[in-house]
Structure 1
Amino acid sequence: MKDVVTIKEIARQLNVSPSTVSRALQNHPRISSHTREAVHALANQLKYLPSTTARNLQRGRTGVIGMVLPEIRENFFSEVINGVEELAFEHQVTVALYQSHDRFDREKQILTVLASNRVDGVLLSVAKETQQIHHIQELLDRQIPLVLFDRIPPHIAAHQVECNMEKGAYEATKWLARRGHRRIALLNGPHALIASEERYRGYITALVEEGLPVENALIKRSDLTTQETALKMNQLLSSATRPDAVLTFNDYVALDAMQVCRSYGLVVNQDISFVSFANLPLNMYLEHPPLASVEQHPYQIGFMAAEILLNVINGVIAPTDLQKVILEPELIVRQQDAIS
């Protein structure tokens, strides 16, 4: 492997000091035009590339931000990554990407690794198992800039970017009610996620406004796995007050729940209708996707979270000037159901 060309090598060949070469490469006015031209010419000839690592170390930085999320395979988080990388690339910042796989212990270990490697900042969407926040608070106590996005734990003072899930659930439930559905179930996520509670509040508010009863038997929580979703959907279908529509935590939960309905011989979106969150692109290829889905704008969430983090790192935003961005959801209607 060819040796990396350094400033010292350029200085040696031109018989000048390394500091002179460094200043010449930055076009410092104290360096004569003759020397600057000679340095740039030799640097181009030797294919010299400036060391980003060295430059960052001079500024007391690593040039790396950590990003921790539950699962890359989920389209929502893939889109968030696209938003983060767009801005990070523009600012020549490296993104160290980690998956918690929705495990608290893994998330805790990742944050420890990122802190020990002195990353410039962290973007975090918590695992569904996360119910304690001491490991997150430790990051803040070390004065490492942190922005929480999408899955945000309660009772923590940090920058946040999310979509208004309460409004999304409210609009989705109202949409179903106005199409004649009277027994609307909620197949929600874990208690530990603020987003689950936001969905619950929006759902309840809409039922009350539409004069529909709030029935505990129609409200189920899933840990978002296929197995747990199937169990809870079976419970809904076995209930004396079987629902005629279901609002689900996201499209993945909806698709798992639909499979259960088919095993009962039910025709999806005729015998029982579905509305969900996430607006997955794959739905356009399905014969019977959810009737509607709440668009959460993941790309914008990622871009804005990265923007806040970089502004904190660069001193544009003071660490104590906490930013909370809440994007407006959009109910994307794909088709009308048989009740309409």
Structure 2
Amino acid sequence: MNKAGKPTTIKEIARKLRISPSTVSRALNDHPSIGLVTTMRVKKLAEELNYEPNQTAIFFKQRKTFTIGVILPKLSEPFFASAISAIEEIAAEKKFTVLLGQSLDNPERELNIINSFRTHRVDGILMSLGKNTIDMGFVERLHKYEIPIVFFDCVPENIDVPKVYCDLSTGIHEAVKAFVERGHKQIALINGPETLNATGERTFSFKNALLDNGLTFDEKYVVYSELTEESNYKAMEKLRALDATPSAILAFNDYVTFDIIKYAKENGISLGRDIQVISFANYSLWKYMDNPPLASIEQYPAEQGAKAAEILFEMLENKDLEISIPDQILASKLVYQ
């Protein structure tokens, strides 16, 4: 900072040392063409004057902002909190800043975040789709602006973009097998919103898992939830109204499971005796609760986030090359509480 209280510039350092601004710039960046004595003089004066590099000028010159944007349905979910931590760790290693946005499953809000990231010239975007997102036109628009995007967890179908997600079939097969081994024959699935690609995958895997374990598939035992408490309660009401009430439930995620537990308590249903539950996502605090689910299907959010970040930085480092990145698929796994 100079005496006038304004930020010190390279030109000011150059004038005081009676050398050219380009020499000062090279010296500050340890360019080999500048002698050691000159470099030391420049750095000493820069320190005395509290010189700070003009980041805007540096970004303009390098055509980078050293920021990436991350868009998630809900930042408060433990699943996404784990993913964010992994993403930020990798970004920090690359000396990048992470900008976060939550869509709250609102397509308009999601698109506004994407446009905001674009106008702020983020170098790349990591994204988990909201449950109501249908229009994927923003992918092509980002491509025109040379902003790469990588999807993880909730990913689009039939679009040639890098994706990282979990193969739900392995965990679902293990969950159904665990129920069958405990004598359950009426097994239900509380699935997610029908608009999600993963919802169809869950139903398909659930059906195959039942057949593989000698049980028949009845579509009445698959109900859908919009992930609100009211919707989760309605899903439970549908299952409880069946002639043969299910004794085991596979739940879409831990928040659905919370509502199942609450519903059971309010309706005199004994968890563990009248009904057993296996949940997706493996909430870390289940072990501290009195009525945890029998088990959880681990979907490895940190690993998904880390792998998606690694792919994005690979794309940024090879921006001038045509690189084909296959889908990265992790196997889900049943874990007991």
> TM-score scaled by structure 1?
0.93
- Is 1:57 the counterpart of 2:57? The answer is no
Structure 2 unaligned residues grouped into runs of 5+? none
Matched position secondary structure for 2:296? strand
Aligned length: 334
Q: Are the equivalent residues in 2 in contact too, given 1:7–1:18 (CA < 8 A)?
A: yes
Alignment of 1:303-318 (within 5 A): 303-315=306-318, 318=321
User: Which residue is equivalent to 1:292?
Assistant: 295
Instruction: Give the AA of the match of 1:99.
Output: Q
Given that residues 5 and 49 in structure 1 are in contact (C-alpha distance below 8 angstroms), is that contact kept between their aligned partners in structure 2? yes
Q: Identity over aligned residues, as a percent?
A: 39
- 8 Å CA contact 1:258–1:268 kept in 2: the answer is yes
Whether 1:199 and 2:202 are equivalent positions in the alignment is yes
Per mean C-alpha deviation after superposition, the further-off stretch among 282-291 and 50-59 is 50-59
In 1, the alpha carbon distance for the partners of 2:207 and 2:107 equals 30
Tell me which of 227, 234, 251 is aligned to 1:248: 251
Q: Which residue of 1 aligns with 2:109?
A: 106
Tell me, in whole angstroms, the C-alpha distance in 1 between the residues paired with 2:139 and 2:319. Answer: 23
Does residue 151 of structure 1 match 2:151?
no
Counterpart CA distance in 2 for 1:7 and 1:40 is 11
- In structure 2, the residue matched to 1:220 is 223
1:132 and 2:135 matched: yes
Partner of 1:338: none
Is the CA contact 2:68–2:97 (under 8 Å) kept in the aligned structure 1? yes
Give the direction of change, closer, same or farther, for the CA distance of 1:306–1:244 in structure 2 (3 Å limit): same
Aligned to 1:96, what secondary structure does the other structure show?
Answer: strand
Deviation at 1:317, TM superposition (A): 8.9
Alignment partners' CA distance in 1, 2:37 and 2:247: 81
Residue aligned with 2:157, SS: coil
What is the rounded CA distance, in whole Å, between the counterparts of 1:18 and 1:43 in structure 2?
13
Alignment match, 1:257: 260
CA distance in structure 2 between the partners assigned to 1:199 and 1:142 by the alignment: 35
Residues 1:234 and 2:218 are matched in the alignment = no
Aligned counterparts of 1:263 and 1:45: Cα–Cα separation in 2: 70
Which amino acid in 1 is paired with 2:326?
Answer: Q
Native 8 Å contact 1:103 1:127 kept in 2: yes
Q: The residue matched to 1:207 in structure 2 has which SS?
A: helix
1:320 Cα deviation after fit: 4.3
CA RMSD of aligned residues (A): 1.7
Partner Cα distance (1:151, 1:325) in 2? 13
Are 2:179 and 1:176 equivalent residues in the alignment? yes
Q: Is the 8 A contact 2:232 2:256 kept in 1?
A: yes
Bigger drift between 107-116 and 234-243 goes to: 107-116
CA-CA distance at 1:212 after TM superposition: 0.7
TM-score, normalized by length of structure 2? Answer: 0.94
Alignment of 1:27-66 (within 5 A): 27-66=30-69
